[in-house]
Amino acid sequence: MKNLLLALGALVLLALPTAAPLAAAPRHPVPSHPVPGPPAPPRATPHARTLTPDEQLFTGLVEQVGAAVSTGDMAALGKFMAPDYVHYTPDNRTGTRAQDLAYVGSWSATTVQLVSPVRVTRRGDLAVTVATSTYSGQHEGKPFQNRIQMMIAWVLRDGHWQMAVVQSKVLPA
């Protein structure tokens, strides 16, 4: 029930008006924490628009999740996943935190690259991001390459942003 409420809350957030344009998100579940230290300088998008502070924060988190997958660092990835994390996969299955960590941990030489801006809608301790990334590498001895769009509902817990609900879909190449 809690996961259903989080997912519905995420969809409601997407329907609410935002002060800034939205951006996009990646594939497999990969969690993130705020980067310690001073805030990063504003990033420019391909259209020379400066990112909002929330876009900067969540772009960094999505990139950290991708880096954890790319380096096979499941401990780092796990820190980005809420204890009650659930992933709704492109093949209409669901994955828990433990299942996704085991699955992603079985990949070898995986590369994750963010290929779209990260769209962000935030309301207090809940944020929703949408972005697209490419995932390429090997799984069970077979090469793969996918463009994955992910909608992630993030929750702020104990000062750290964690992925609570992830919905992913494979996009055409």
Which of 65-74, 78-87, 134-143 is predicted least confidently? 134-143
pLDDT of residue 88: 98
pTM: 0.72
Q: Residue 111: which CATH number?
A: 3.10.450.50
Name the region of 74 (left: φ>0; alpha: ψ -120 to 50; beta: rest).
alpha
Mean pLDDT along residues 83-109 = 94
Q: How confident is the model at residue 144 (pLDDT cuts 50, 70, 90)?
A: confident
Would strands 160-171 and 81-88 be described as parallel, antiparallel, or unpaired?
parallel
Contacts of residue 115, Cβ cutoff 8 Å, sequence gap at least 6: 132, 133, 134, 147
As for how many domains the chain has, the answer is 1
Domain around 164? 2-40+48-171
Cα end-to-end span (Å), the chain:
35
- Which residues sit opposite 123 in a β-bridge? 126
Chain position carrying tokens 């999740």: 65
Identity of the residue numbered 46:
P
The predicted-structure confidence for 150-171, as pLDDT tens digits, reads as follows 999 999 999 999 999 999 999 9
Residue 39 binned pLDDT confidence (cut-offs 50, 70, 90): very low
Give the separation between CA 125 and CA 62, rounded to whole angstroms.
17
Q: Judge contact between 137 and 107, C-beta under 8 A.
A: yes
